[in-house]
């Protein structure tokens, strides 16, 4: 059959047109033009599909191109068969074209619904508009977010007192604020990327604290800590810090935030306050104890004055006594002397001893005490001195400084049973406001100091806490009274100074005595008062003795009469004033300062205004500063501290009676 298709013998198609040139031209030209156009169309389609690879249904274009190409070829074939009768080839070509056409047509029905699903340009425009709006909205939100982030960053940046920074999961720093730089000293470019453990002390690092804190923060969400941290320059500060874990929406840890505050100053202030509070409590306790002991000592003094005076009167009486009575009297005297010594020490503690201060050169005083101290310490202890030149002069009772030194030396000796070294240092120091805030009762200013340092056993803190209190001793019964340090403390305080104890078990003890600097020139170190004379000065003048204590009055009256004076007595100021009015020729008033009702000071003032020539002698169990306030010192007034002996009384009365008003007599006059 196929063979018959290619058999010749058929007439060319032109014959059908009767070789009419017009018809031939018309058919040939039209078919050629159609054929050429049909060939050009696939080229265009190929161009399009090659260039636009994203074209949907691109294969459809290729199929269409093939179909058109086949159509074009049939038209060329139509021209060919006008002269050549190859109808078999033409038929096959048509068959091929038919297949291409059917394929294209049927596929078109398949893809048209799909093509219809593709949005129209109108729809696309609408969608595009929506997209534009969406984009604008999105940009606006992004801008707001950016602004909010910026203001949040500025907020964090402006925090200057808190270090606020972020860390990654491993603890490496990823952000840093000004506060962090202020507190730690690190700039942002120096610290980003570093591990936060570098702020911890070497001990904390070795103990794994930074890691522990991160683990806690991860497990519990937060970790709080207060402790020492290290700055860039190596200095330490106390940090109050909090670490929070940061997790994403799925709860996965992405890092940590850390907020740290430097609370060094606050802690310091709290410690200062605590220290000041305990110093105040300590000083209030000492004051209360001082007041109590002072009161007791004062009353005992009065009684002892009577006892000692009574004993002295018996001893100086001419009547002979039996040896056993004499022994008893000696025993009474020894006991009373001992009591008087004890009350003196108690008065010293309660800052009420009679002081005779003078401008003193500490170095000279210490040098003069050397020999005594050496003898006290014995051979097993080395005594060393470190006297700084130009120690400021001080206004103190030099005898009491010596007594204090001796007291401290005895304590040091007891603490160095197996020998050691005692070092006495002198020097100048300025105690500033801060020091005075932490030590109650001490004003800031210039002080000269003596430090007594031993290499002995030292004191545990509970002993140190109580060592200054009277009767506190760790020494066995009969070995220590516990009054040594109390006496030193009271004396130094009374002199306007300050005592500081530093001691550690096994490391020895240092006792510092600070005395306020005096701006007068140092004159003589030590002003021992000589009160002994071969015979007691006597007199016959009329004197008035005012004393509320029965025993003391009885003793004073008897003693004065013993000295030859014409004595009248009164137990209070009222009686004294009326006696002064009634009795003529009273030359001297001997009065106790502490009288009930009108006190001795007012009595003296009133008496002197009525009798300007009247001489005054005060007796008192208390100390100088109280009497210094009398305002009568430069008017020939004398002070007779209790307990007093007959010879003290004799000297006081005589020197007051013999003095012209306005002169002074260093021996018996109260100074200061
Ligand atoms: N240098 C020192 N080394 C070690 N402990 C000391 C020193 N000085 C004082 N102490 C302790 O302080 C306590 C009180 O001392 P303080 O001088 O007041 O009394 P005392 O020495 O016991 O008795 P007193 O001095 O009246 O004979 C002592 O018992 C001792 O425990
Ligand atoms: Mg002692």
SS (H, E, C) 122-158: HHHHHHHHHHHHHHHHHHHHHHHHHHHHHHHHHHHHH
What separation in Å is there between the alpha carbon of 348 and the centre of ligand 2? 14
Alpha-carbon 195 to chain mean position:
28
Minimum CA distance residue for ligand 1 atom 19: 482
CATH number of 159-262: 3.30.450.20
What separation in Å is there between the alpha carbon of 252 and the centre of ligand 1? 67
List the chain residues with pLDDT less than 50: 522-534, 625, 634, 662-672
Give φ, ψ of 475 to 5 degrees.
-85, 155
CB 137 within 8 A of CB 130: no
Q: Look at the chain and count its residues.
A: 672
What separation in Å is there between the alpha carbon of 556 and the centre of ligand 1? 38
Minimum CA distance residue for ligand 1 atom 4: 458
Q: Topology of domain 542-658, per CATH?
A: Rossmann fold (3.40.50)
Rg (CA), the chain: 59
What separation in Å is there between the alpha carbon of 131 and the centre of ligand 1? 95
Confidence (pLDDT) at 554: 82
Domain boundaries, the chain: 2-117, 159-262, 271-349, 358-516, 542-658
CA distance 403 to 426: 17
Beta carbons within 10 angstroms of residue 14's beta carbon: 19
**Sign for the pseudo-dihedral over CA of 570, 574, 577, 582:** negative
CATH number of 358-516: 3.30.565.10
pLDDT of 557-576, one tens digit each?
888 988 889 999 999 999 99
**Which letter, b or e, does each residue of 449-487 get, where b requires 16 or more Cβ atoms within 10 Å of its Cβ?**
bbbbbbbbbbbeeeebeebbbbebbeeeeeebbbbbbbb
CATH number of 271-349: 1.10.287
Residues near ligand 1 (Cβ within 6 A): 411-412, 415, 454, 456-459, 463, 467, 472-475, 480-486, 509
- By the CB criterion, residues less than 5 angstroms from ion ligand 2 are 411, 484
Confidence (pLDDT) at 152: 85
CB 653 within 8 A of CB 622: no
Pocket probe mutation, ligand 1, options 404, 421, 451, 475, max atoms within 8 Å of Cβ: 475
């Amino acid at each position: 059959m196929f063979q018959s298709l290619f058999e010749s013998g058929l007439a060319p198609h032109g014959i059908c047109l009767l070789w009419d040139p017009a018809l031939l031209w018309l058919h040939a030209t039209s078919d050629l033009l159609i054929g050429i156009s049909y060939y050009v169309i696939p080229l265009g389609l190929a161009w399009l599909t090659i260039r636009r690879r994203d074209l949907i249904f691109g294969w459809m274009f290729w199929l269409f191109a093939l179909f058109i190409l086949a159509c074009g070829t049939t038209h060329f074939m139509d021209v060919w068969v006008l002269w050549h009768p190859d109808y078999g080839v033409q038929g096959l070509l048509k068959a091929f074209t038919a297949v291409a056409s059917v394929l294209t047509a049927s596929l078109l029905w398949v893809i048209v619904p799909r093509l219809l699903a593709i949005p129209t340009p109108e729809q696309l425009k609408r969608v595009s508009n929506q997209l534009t709006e969406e984009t604008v909205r999105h940009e606006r939100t992004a801008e707001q977010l950016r602004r909010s982030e910026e203001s949040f960053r500025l907020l964090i940046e402006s925090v200057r007192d808190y270090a606020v920074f972020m860390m990654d999961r491993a603890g490496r720093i990823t952000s840093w604020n000004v506060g962090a730089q202020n507190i730690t000293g690190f700039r942002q470019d120096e610290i980003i990327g570093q591990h936060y453990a570098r702020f911890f002390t070497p001990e904390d690092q070795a103990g794994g604290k930074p890691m522990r804190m991160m683990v806690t923060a991860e497990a519990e969400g937060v970790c709080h800590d207060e402790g020492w941290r290290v700055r860039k320059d190596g200095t330490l500060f106390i940090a109050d810090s909090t670490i929070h874990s940061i997790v994403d929406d799925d709860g996965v840890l992405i890092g940590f935030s850390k907020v740290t505050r430097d609370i060094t100053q606050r802690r310091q202030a709290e410690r200062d306050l605590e220290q000041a509070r305990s110093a105040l409590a300590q000083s209030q306790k000492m004051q209360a104890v001082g007041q109590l002991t002072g009161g007791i000592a004062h009353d005992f003094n009065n009684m002892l004055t009577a006892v000692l005076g009574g004993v002295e009167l018996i001893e100086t009486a001419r009547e002979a006594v039996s040896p056993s009575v004499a022994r008893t009297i000696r025993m009474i005297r020894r006991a009373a002397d001992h009591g008087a010594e004890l009350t003196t020490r108690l008065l010293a503690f309660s800052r009420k001893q009679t002081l005779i201060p003078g401008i003193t050169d500490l170095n000279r005083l210490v040098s003069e005490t050397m020999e005594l101290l050496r003898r006290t310490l014995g051979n097993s202890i080395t005594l060393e001195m470190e006297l700084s030149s130009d120690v400021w002069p001080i206004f103190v009772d030099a005898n009491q400084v010596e007594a204090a030194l001796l007291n401290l030396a005895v304590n040091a000796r007891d603490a160095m049973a197996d020998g050691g070294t005692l070092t006495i240092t002198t020097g100048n120091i300025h105690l500033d406001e801060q020091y005075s805030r932490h030590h109650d009762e001490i004003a800031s200013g210039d002080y000269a100091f003596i430090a007594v340092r031993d290499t002995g056993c030292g004191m545990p803190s509970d002993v140190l806490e109580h060592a200054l209190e009277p009767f506190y001793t760790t020494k066995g019964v009969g070995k220590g009274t516990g009054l040594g340090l109390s006496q030193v403390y009271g004396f130094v305080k009374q002199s306007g100074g300050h005592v500081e104890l530093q001691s550690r078990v096994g490391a020895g003890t240092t006792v510092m005595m600070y005395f306020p600097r005096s701006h007068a020139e140092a004159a003589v170190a030590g002003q021992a008062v000589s009160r002994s004379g071969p015979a007691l000065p006597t007199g016959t003048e009329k004197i008035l003795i005012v004393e509320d204590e029965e025993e003391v009055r009885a003793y004073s009256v008897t003693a004065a009469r013993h000295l030859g004076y014409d004595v009248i007595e009164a137990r209070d100021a009222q009686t004294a004033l009326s006696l002064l009015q009634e009795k003529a020729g009273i030359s001297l008033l001997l009065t106790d300062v502490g009288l009930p009702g009108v006190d001795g000071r007012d009595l003296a003032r009133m008496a002197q205004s009525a009798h300007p020539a009247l001489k005054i002698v005060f007796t008192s169990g208390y100390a100088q500063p109280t009497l210094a306030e009398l305002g009568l010192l430069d008017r020939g007034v004398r002070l007779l501290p209790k307990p007093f002996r007959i010879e003290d009384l004799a000297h006081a009365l005589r020197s007051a009676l013999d003095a012209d008003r306005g002169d002074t007599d260093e021996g018996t006059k109260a100074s200061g």
